[in-house]
Amino acid sequence: MKILIVDDFSTMRRIIKNLLRDLGYNNTAEADDGNTALPMLKKGGFDFLVTDWNMPGMDGLQLLKNVRAEEDLKTLPVLMVTAESKREQIIEAAQAGVNGYIVKPFTAATLKEKIDKIFERIESA
Amino acid sequence: MSTETMDLEQYADKARELLTAIEAGDREEVGQRLDELTRLRETELFREVGKLTRELHEALKTFRTDNRLGDLVATEIPDAQDRLNHVIELTENAAHRTLTALEESLETLSGIGSEGRELAAEWQRFRQREMAAPEFRELSKRMDDFFERLQRESDEVHGKLTDALMAQDYQDLTGQIIRRVMKLVKEVEDGLVSLISLSAPQRGTEERKAADNKTGEGTGDGTTLEGPQVPGHESDTAVSGQDEVDDLLSSLGF
C-alpha cells in the first residue's frame, strides 16, 4: 500500500505520515501541492491519496478533478484533509468524487476511522 | 510665454513705476502703485488657492469612490486582530498540550526505568544464586506485574506522544490564518500608497491599479477558500466539526 500525502505545510505532512505509520502504512511519499503531486501520481504505483485543499499552485480540489479525469487514476481513493469547513465546499468535494473528508483539526482516531471506511467500501464494491 | 514669466514682467513694470514715483516724491502716486502691486499679488494667490481647491475636490471625489480602505479600517483590521488573537490561543494551547504530553510521558518512563533497574538488580542476585525460594516467588510475582505495567504504560506513552504529534497541527492552522492577515496588510499598504498618490497625481495611476486588485483566494473555479474558521467569525455555512461533515456526507449518500 503506497500512499501520497499532499499538503503545503511540511509539519502537517509529517503528522499525517506518522499517523499512517502508526496505522501500519509505512510506504508514503509527499508532495507540497497538486502541481508536484499529479506527475507523481501519473507515474503510477500509488494506491491512496491524502490531500489538503487550500494550497498555492494547484489546490486539492483541482488535483482531485485532474485525478478523476485520468483514465489510470479515476478510481484512486482520495481522502481530503482540510481546514475548509463550509457545507458548500464539502458538497463540492463530494461531487468531484472525493472518498472521504476530514476537517482540521482532526484526531488520529478520525483518520483511522475514515481510512478504514474507505477501504471497507472498496473491498465490498 | 509662461504665466510665471508674464507675472514677473508685470511685477517689474509695476516696480519700475513705483520707483519712479518714489524718486519723484509723489506720495499719492506711490500709494497707487503699491495698491496695484498688492492687487497683482492677490490675483496670483487666488489663482493658486483655486487650483488647490480643485485638486482637493478631485482627491476627495476619488477617495470617496475608492472606499475599500474604509472597509479595511472599519471591518477587516478588527477582524485581523481577532484572527491574530486566535493564533496566540492556538499556539498557546498547542504548546501546553505538547508539554503536558511530554511531562506525563517522562514521568511514566522514569517510573518504568527505576522499577526496571530494581528488578534487574534482584534478577542478578537470583542468577548468582543469592536468592532463597520464597524471595524468588516474590520476585517472579513482581516481574509479572512489571511486564503488565510495561505493556500498559508503553501504550499510554504512545498515546501521549501521538497527542504531542497531533498538537503540531497548529503550525498549519496558524500559518493559514497568518497568511490571510499578511494579505490584508498588503492590501492596506496598497491602499495607503494609492492615497499618497492622490496628493501626487503624476505618479498615481500604476500604484492605484495595484491597490484596486482586490485579493481573494480562488480555487480555479470560483470557490473562495476561507481556511480555518476563527471563533466569533465563523462562516454561516461552516460545519462545527467532523460529526457534521459525516452527517452531511451521509445525507449525500456517502
Region at A46 (left for phi over 0; alpha for psi -120 to 50; beta for the rest): beta
Q: Is B220 on the interface with A (CB under 8 A)?
A: yes
Query: What's the confidence (pLDDT) of residue A34?
Result: 97
pLDDT at A72 over 90: yes
- Comparing alpha-carbon positions, the chain A residue that sits nearest to B223 is A89
**Which of the four pLDDT bands, split at 50, 70 and 90, describes residue A71?**
very high
In angstroms, the CA B103 to CA B179 distance is 32
Q: Is A23 on the interface with B (CB under 8 A)?
A: no
d(CA A84, nearest CA chain B) in Å: 5
The CA distance from B56 to B32, in Å, is: 36
Interval A77-88: pLDDT, tens: 999 999 999 999
Residue B187's pLDDT is 84
Question: Which residues, given as ranges, of chain B have pLDDT below 70?
Answer: 1-6, 63-66, 198-223
Grid coordinates belonging to A68: 478523476
Chain B residues whose beta carbon lies within 8 Å of the beta carbon of residue A14: 168
- pLDDT attached to residue B148: 97
* Chain B residues near residue A19 by CB distance under 8 angstroms: 162, 165-166
pLDDT of residue A76: 97
For residue B238, the SS3 value is strand
Nearest CA in chain A to B171: A11
According to the 3-state scheme, what is the secondary structure of chain A? CEEEEECCCHHHHHHHHHHHHHCCCCEEEEECCHHHHHHHHHHCCCCEEEECCCCCCCCHHHHHHHHHHCCCCCCCCEEEEECCCEHHHHHHHHHCCCCEEEECCCCHHHHHHHHHHHHHHHHHC
pLDDT in tens, B149-206: 999 999 999 999 999 999 999 999 999 999 989 988 888 888 788 777 766 655 445 5
- Judged by CB atoms closer than 8 Å, whether chains meet at B245 and A101 is answered as yes
> If we measure between CA atoms, which residue out of B157, B176, B55 comes closest to residue A7?
B176
Q: Which residue has the higher pLDDT, A119 or A61?
A: A61
3-state secondary structure of B134: helix
Q: Do A106 and B252 lie within an 8 Å CB cutoff?
A: no
Q: Return the pLDDT at B133.
A: 92
| The pLDDT value given to residue B64 | 64
Q: Which residues of A touch B221 (CB under 8 A)?
A: 61-62
Q: What is the pLDDT of residue B223?
A: 65
% of chain A beyond a pLDDT of 70: 100
pLDDT of residue B222: 55
Q: What is the pLDDT of residues A35-51, one digit of tens each?
A: 999 999 999 999 999 99
pLDDT band at A124 (very low <50, low <70, confident <90, very high): confident
Which chain A residue has the Cα nearest residue B166? A15
Instruction: Kindly list the residues from chain A whose CB atom is less than 8 angstroms away from the CB atom of residue B229.
Output: 83, 85
pLDDT at A33 > cutoff 50 = yes
Q: Least CB-CB distance to A15: which of B166, B235, B241?
A: B166
Nearest to B248 among A15, A90, A105 (CB): A90
Taking an 8 Å cut-off on Cβ atoms, the answer to whether B227 and A84 are in contact is: yes
Beta-carbon contacts below 8 Å between A and B: 100
List chain B residues with CB under 8 Å of A23: none
ipTM over the 0.85 cut-off = no
pLDDT reported for residue B226: 82
Residues A6-13 have a mean pLDDT of 95
Question: What sign for the dihedral angle of Cα B218, B219, B223, B227?
Answer: negative
Among residues A4, A94, A92, which one has the least CA distance to residue A47?
A: A4
Task: Give the model confidence (pLDDT) of A50-70 as tens digits.
Answer: 999 999 999 999 999 999 999
